[in-house]
Amino acid sequence: MVTQVYAQEAAAPAVEHVDAAPGAADIHADPTADTHATTEAHGGEHDSGVFPPFDPATFPSQLLWLAITFGLLYVLMSKVALPRIGSILENRKSIVDADLAAADASRQKTDAAIAAYEAALADARSKAQGIANETREKIQADLAAKRSAVETDLTAKVTEAETRIAATKRDALTHVDEIATETAQTVVGQIIGDVSADSVRAAVAKASKE
Amino acid sequence: MAGTDPIHQFVIQDMFPIHLGGDGTAGSGLNISFTNSSLFMVATVAVISLYLILTTSAKRVVPGRAQLVSELLYGFVANMVRSAAGTSGMVFFPLVFSLFTFIFVANMFGMVPYFFTVTSHIIVTFALSMLVFLTVVIYGFLKNGPKFLKLFVPSGVPGYILPIVAPIEFISFMSRPISLSVRLFGNILAGHITLKVFTGFIVTMSSLGFLGILGSALPMIMAIALTGLEFLVGSVQAYVFAVLTCMYLNDAIHPSH
């Protein structure tokens, strides 16, 4: 123990260390004496023999440096780091919100566009149908008109042809007696010689009446 | 024998001696030297500050891994404060954040061999808990005035029990800084001593020859398991300290239970 106190106080004899020494001597009698001898080599240890965490001699230094370092940490955190992280999170949230709003707006625009497209499509379809109907009706009307014209024409032509046929038939029938007379005269003339035209005619008339 | 002395790891050594008063020679007067403890306080603060400030300097909207860690840490502590002390407790967010990160990183530093553990000294944990305690008392009286004393009068308690309940509440309130500081200090101190004792066994036993080397496997396994446990204890104690701080601060903000 003497060596310990001696080693420590050699550099600077201090009142508090001398005061601590008698109490310390009782606590650390022998077992750690060699420990202290070894640790003295490091120099500057607060090895007054007290259990180090309960050594009041180290308290001022620890408190001062804790105040300095923790104060610095608090200032750096509250002024720099935390506001910055907070602003990053805030910024991200606002960007996400804005993007979601934009996406929503775009979707509404898309919906509107689809509705407009469908309305236009329906409109065009009905218009197309109208045009088709109109065209069909026009064509039908045209067709009907042409057909009726042709039909009238045809009827007229048929009537005319029938009249002509009837006339021709009548005409032809009036000529039948004459032809028969001529033919009979010629045939009779060939067989029995000349006969008078009147007698032949009378014979034909008589024959045709039968 | 210094290698196996479980107490030696807590010894404070002056690195740059500074003395106030005294007779001007080293060792006299008020010793406020820069010590190994101070060094690790500085290292703790430097690691926290540099990490948080450097990883967030890019302010990326889509965070990288490093930035994400900072953001998660922020969110973790912010949720802790908000859930325990409400939105009005967010004025203490920087304090709780500083306390949590300081204790956590100091504990993690302590797990590195040959490193000094700042929180293994009662004066450090007591100073931190007194900081919390005084913040609670001063803020509580500034914000609530005399109503802050309602803290000792739980609502719904019949009048005739109050003479018993109020002193109990008062004592429990006053013992908070002690329980807060001793919990952290005790856990860290005991853990480090246990770890050192078991690792010391390995050295002692393996110097006893072949059987000793075989036998030293047991403390080796214990030391490995304890190392894992100490990492857990170091993290949990930082968390406990921060959560209790939030709950005490909640008392200052909303004194009536």
pLDDT exceeds cutoff 50 at A36: no
Give the model's pLDDT for residue B23: 61
What's the whole-model pTM score? 0.71
In a domain, A98, yes or no: no
The answer to the question of residue A31 being in a domain is: yes
Residue A190 lies in a domain: yes
Tell me what pLDDT residue A82 has.
Answer: 95
Residues of chain A contacting residue B42, judged by C-beta atoms under 8 Å apart = 65, 69
- Residue A4: pLDDT over 50: no
Report pLDDT for B73. 96
pLDDT of residue A43: 43
The per-residue pLDDT for range A89-130, each reduced to its tens digit, is: 999 999 999 999 999 999 999 999 999 999 999 999 999 999
> Which residues are registered as beta bridge partners of B16?
B34
B121–A45: do the CB atoms touch at under 8 Å? no
d(CA B214, CA B220): 10
Give the model's pLDDT for residue A15: 38
Structural domain of A50: 2-54
Residue A157 is assigned to a structural domain of this protein: no
* Residue-level pLDDT at A207: 77
Q: Are B191 and B229 in contact (CB under 8 A)?
A: yes
- Asked whether residue A170 is domain-assigned, the answer is no
Query: How far apart (Å, rounded) are the C-alpha atoms in residues A9 and A19?
Result: 12
d(C-alpha B98, C-alpha B104), whole Å: 10
Q: CB pairs below 8 Å between A and B: how many?
A: 179
pLDDT surpasses 70 at A24: no
Partner A, chain B 119-178, Cβ-Cβ below 8 Å:
120-124, 127-128, 131
Give the pLDDT confidence score for residue A107 in this predicted structure.
96
Main-chain dihedrals φ then ψ at residue A189, nearest 5 degrees = -55, -40
% of chain A beyond a pLDDT of 90 = 51
**Does A196 map to a domain?**
yes
In the predicted model, is pLDDT for residue A197 greater than 80?
no
Q: What is the largest CA-CA distance in chain A?
A: 203
- Cα separation of A1 and A21, whole Å? 9
A 8-27 residues with CB < 8 A to B: 8-9, 11-15, 17
- Split into its structural domains, chain A has a count of 2
Whether A105 maps to a domain, the answer reads no
Task: Tell me, yes or no, whether A102 lies in a domain.
Answer: no
Chain B neighbours among A 111-170 (CB < 8 Å)? none
Q: So what's the pLDDT on residue A98?
A: 96
Q: How high is the pLDDT of residue B99?
A: 97
A contacts of B28 (beta carbons < 8 Å)? 12, 14-15
pLDDT surpassing 50 at residue A59: yes
* Degrees to nearest 5, angle at CA A36 with B20 and A42: 60
Q: Is the pLDDT of residue A45 over 50?
A: yes
Instruction: Evaluate if residue A20 carries a pLDDT over 60.
Output: no
Stretch A175-199: mean pLDDT: 80
- B92-114 pLDDT, tens digit per residue, is 999 999 999 999 999 999 999 88
CA distance B175 to B170: 9
Residue B232 identity:
L
Q: What are the angstrom distances between the C-alpha of A200 and each of A185, B80, B143?
A: 6, 150, 161
Higher pLDDT, A34 or A141: A141
> What share of residues in chain A are helix, strand, coil (percent, to 5)?
90, 0, 10
Asked if A31 is an interface residue toward chain B (Cβ–Cβ < 8 A), one would say no
pLDDT in tens, B144-191: 888 888 888 888 888 888 888 899 999 999 999 999 999 999 999 999
Look at A59 and B120 and tell me if their CB atoms are within 8 Å.
no
Query: Residue ranges of the domains in chain B?
Result: 2-253
pLDDT tens for each residue of chain B, 257 residues long: 445 688 888 888 888 888 877 665 555 678 888 999 999 999 999 999 999 999 999 888 889 999 999 999 999 999 999 999 989 999 999 999 999 999 999 999 999 988 999 999 999 999 999 999 999 999 999 998 888 888 888 888 888 888 888 999 999 999 999 999 999 999 999 999 999 999 998 988 888 888 888 888 999 999 999 999 999 999 999 999 999 999 999 988 988 75
Q: List Cβ neighbours of B127 (8 Å cut-off, separation of 6 or more).
A: A62, A63, A66, A67
